[in-house]
Structure 1
Amino acid sequence: MKNKIALITGATSGIGKAAAITLAKIGFDIIATGRRGNRLEELKQELPATIEFLPLVFDVRDREKVAEILENLPEQWKNIDVLINNAGNAHGMDPVQSADLDDWDAMMDINVKGLLYVSKAIIPGMTARKSGMIINIGSIAAKEVYPNGSVYCGSKHAVDAITKGMRIDLNPFGVRVVAIHPGLVETEFSLVRFKGDDKRADTVYQGMEPLVAQDIADIVEFAVTRPSHVTIADVVVLPTAQASATLVKRDT
């Protein structure tokens, strides 16, 4: 029997990479997307030889490229069972009055519009087959707003709302829609947010034990392995040291 297919955006690092490896280990063929082709080739080396792998190099912000590639997949890759909208970033952490407009554009274009572009290309196949699962990776920032995070939080609030809307619109077609909202996860996230400033990025996780990418991948695995009558609709997952977006117990 042919393996199921999972498409994972932002699979070159962090949660996306961990999810790709985890699903491959349980027998999914993997379509992995990202902007860094070399990272996708490195991912390939970590996947079981028993599964098929299709790397796709593009930026989810590029509406035309997303449509061109995903609407013209090779025949064997067209029937995608699971879409994981993982690509997303935070850019900068400045108050709204002094923030960089380029940072705002990047967050809205990647976190919101990119998710929509990819989903728009994949959903018609799922509705036609009346099956499938979409997993949107959100954030605790989808549930709370914190200082100097207004636009990032806004982008993730949008993801939360879009996810709920997807679940309603796709309900008649039997397509399951899942949201996973992590708190502090130690990935490249903070390094990107602070634009390569290692010292500042390290302080985010200082004195506490954050989640790791595999923790989120384990939730992805749980969601996709539930029987067809079960949808893990909305999950907020925090490290034990974190009680809210801003309250974190740290060792001193």
Structure 2
Amino acid sequence: MTGVICITGASAGIGHATAKRFCANGWRVVGVARRLDRLEALQKELGNAFYPAAFDVSDRDSVAAAFAALPPEFADIDVLVNSAGLGKGLDLAQEANLDDWDMMIQTNINGLLYCTRAVLPNMVARNHGFIVNLGSIAGEYNYKTGNVYGASKAFVKHFTQNLKADLLGTMVRVCCIEPGLTRTEFQQVRFDWNEAKSDAPYKGITPLAAEDISEAIWWVVNQPEHVTVTTVEIWPTHQANGTFSFDRQTSD
């Protein structure tokens, strides 16, 4: 199977690895990111099968304009991978920076919605397509200071499941991929490129790599059309969901 795949967050991490994985197997790739210089560097590597589309997924007008302006050979998108997403800060809710919350909601939720809505009508009209959303184990299992990031990824999970219901009767498929700790630029973004803080989560363990997740995306997309893998949790072997937390009170 080959076709056109649109990948948001293609300038780094999982999106970048997925673009390379699909291009290497004959797909045409629309790579979406804000950083045009990185997209152009990827285009030089991958050639004319890669189309750089530089815009901010959280800007609804920019999303609509960019999809409307795709060249004819890239316009009929067979697969959308909503990989753009981020975590900002790691603070208790009562101490959190509201700008960080806004950024996560605008990217992880709004950006995913805008891009999905842009491609769905054509997929439904053609009775063919696949939406792959990047969730997180944080959307399944809560942890202290996970507040809005975890909630945004829980939204991704439930939106994916509701899409599945809406698309019943069509051959458009949906899947939510939920990685555990993955070594990308995620921690650098979360901690504003503070090297010590960004490296700390990986000390003493082997995290997932972006290529591990891109391989899962490849597998999901290439299942037979009558098969839909709706949710995939992927964990590093060195990570598990945590124990319950308690605030134990002692009596006098």
Q: Same fold (TM over 0.5)?
A: yes
Which residue does 2:30 correspond to in 1? 31
Q: What are the superposed Cα offsets for residues 181-213 of structure 1, whole Å, 9 maximum, x if unpaired?
A: 000000000010111111011001000000000
Which residue does 1:46 correspond to in 2? 45
Q: What are the superposed Cα offsets for residues 37-94 of structure 1, whole Å, 9 maximum, x if unpaired?
A: 11101112332x4x62210000111111101111332222221010000000000010
State how 1:47-196 maps to structure 2 within 5 Å: 47=46, 49=47, 52-196=49-193
Partners of 2:69 and 2:92 in 1: CA distance: 42
Is the 2:23–2:50 contact (alpha carbons within 8 Å) kept by the matching residues of 1? Answer: no
State yes or no: 1:208 paired with 2:196.
no
Partners of 2:236 and 2:195 in 1: CA distance: 22
Partners of 2:168 and 2:236 in 1: CA distance: 32
| TM superposition shift of 1:170 | 1.2
Once superposed, what is the RMSD of the aligned Cα atoms?
1.5
| TM superposition shift of 1:3 | 4.8
Which residue does 2:5 correspond to in 1? 6
| TM superposition shift of 1:245 | 5.9
- What residue ranges of structure 1 are gaps of 5+ in the alignment? 248-252
Between stretches 224-233 and 188-197, larger displacement belongs to 224-233
Is the 1:190–1:201 contact (alpha carbons within 8 Å) kept by the matching residues of 2? Answer: yes
Q: Which has the larger radius of gyration?
A: 2
Partners of 1:126 and 1:202 in 2: CA distance: 41
% same residue: 43
Which residue does 2:247 correspond to in 1? none
| TM superposition shift of 1:220 | 0.8
Is the 1:96–1:150 contact (alpha carbons within 8 Å) kept by the matching residues of 2? Answer: yes
Aligned pair count? 244
Q: For residue 121 of structure 2, what is the amino acid of its counterpart?
A: P
Partners of 2:151 and 2:2 in 1: CA distance: 37
Tell me, what secondary structure is at the counterpart of 2:168? helix
**TM-score of the superposition, structure 1-length normalised?**
0.94
Once superposed, which parts of structure 1, at least 4 consecutive aligned residues long, lie more than 3 Å away? none
Is the 1:141–1:245 contact (alpha carbons within 8 Å) kept by the matching residues of 2? Answer: no
Between stretches 237-246 and 78-87, larger displacement belongs to 237-246
Is the 1:8–1:32 contact (alpha carbons within 8 Å) kept by the matching residues of 2? Answer: yes
Partners of 1:16 and 1:196 in 2: CA distance: 20
Is the 1:92–1:193 contact (alpha carbons within 8 Å) kept by the matching residues of 2? Answer: yes
Q: What are the superposed Cα offsets for residues 80-121 of structure 1, whole Å, 9 maximum, x if unpaired?
A: 010000000000010000100000000000000000000110
Partners of 1:142 and 1:214 in 2: CA distance: 21
Is the 1:140–1:245 contact (alpha carbons within 8 Å) kept by the matching residues of 2? Answer: no
Partners of 1:171 and 1:142 in 2: CA distance: 24
Partners of 1:11 and 1:95 in 2: CA distance: 30
Q: For residue 212 of structure 2, what is the amino acid of its counterpart?
A: D
- What residue ranges of structure 2 are gaps of 5+ in the alignment? 245-252
| TM superposition shift of 1:231 | 1.2
Partners of 1:171 and 1:11 in 2: CA distance: 29
Is the 1:81–1:133 contact (alpha carbons within 8 Å) kept by the matching residues of 2? Answer: yes
Between stretches 225-234 and 85-94, larger displacement belongs to 225-234
Tell me, what secondary structure is at the counterpart of 2:167? helix
Partners of 1:245 and 1:13 in 2: CA distance: 29
Q: Would the alpha carbon gap of residues 4 and 244 (structure 1) be closer, same or farther in structure 2, given more than 3 Å must change?
A: same
Q: Would the alpha carbon gap of residues 245 and 19 (structure 1) be closer, same or farther in structure 2, given more than 3 Å must change?
A: farther
**TM-score of the superposition, structure 2-length normalised?**
0.94
Q: What are the superposed Cα offsets for residues 9-38 of structure 1, whole Å, 9 maximum, x if unpaired?
A: 000000000000001111110000001011
Q: For residue 107 of structure 1, what is the amino acid of its counterpart?
A: M
